[in-house]
């Protein structure tokens, strides 16, 4: 069952195509930086080189990009819209892990010399939230747009059901 979405669905197709390509590029960069053992940083974007976050996280981001691109065929059908939702959920999981890691790292101090300081000072706490940010954290706000399209889809389906009952 398809729905009519007009210009909004066309915009969504373009938006998620761009987001899918950017996501795929970030995922490939994550994976390659891990294989090469290089930690890349460019402006506010930092690509980690550790195995879990860079390697496995890179694969998850690659699959998120592939889900975005595979869902572009027809956003008016729930099967394709759900592929885009799965791509967004993968980004949300990786970004959530990164944010959780950032929060937990900001609480405890690394210690200075032989002193064991359990909690970070205020400056250390704030500095832990400074850039660079991982690609998943960078993509997080852009991936939230899928929520609008889900609500839009539900609204159009509800209107179609009401119109079918009236006729």
Note the pLDDT tens digit of each residue in 21-31.
999 999 999 99
Inform me whether the pLDDT recorded for 111 exceeds 90: no
28 assigned to some structural domain: yes
Domain range for 133 is: 7-166
17 assigned to some structural domain: yes
| pTM summary value | 0.85
2 assigned to some structural domain: no
Mean pLDDT for the stretch of residues 141-165: 90
Question: Can you tell me the distance from the alpha carbon of 100 to that of 94, in angstroms, rounded to the nearest whole number?
Answer: 10
Number of domains the chain contains? 1
40 assigned to some structural domain: yes
Q: Express each pLDDT in 74-100 by its tens digit.
A: 888 899 999 999 999 999 999 999 999
């Amino acid at each position: 069952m398809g729905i009519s979405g007009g210009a909004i669905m066309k915009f969504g197709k373009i938006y998620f195509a761009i987001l899918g390509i950017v996501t795929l590029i970030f995922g490939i960069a994550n994976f390659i930086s891990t294989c090469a053992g290089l930690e890349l940083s460019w402006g506010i974007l930092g690509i980690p080189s550790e195995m879990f976050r860079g390697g496995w996280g890179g694969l998850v981001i690659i699959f998120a990009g592939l889900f975005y691109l595979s869902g572009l065929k027809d956003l008016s059908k729930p099967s394709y819209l759900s592929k885009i939702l799965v791509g967004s959920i993968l980004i949300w999981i990786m970004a959530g892990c990164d944010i959780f890691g950032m929060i937990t790292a900001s609480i405890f101090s690394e210690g200075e010399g032989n002193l064991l300081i359990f909690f970070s000072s205020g400056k250390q706490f704030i500095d832990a939230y400074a850039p660079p940010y991982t690609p998943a954290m960078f993509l997080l706000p852009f991936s939230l747009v899928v929520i609008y399209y889900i609500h839009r889809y539900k609204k159009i389906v509800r209107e179609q059901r009401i119109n079918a009952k009236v006729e």
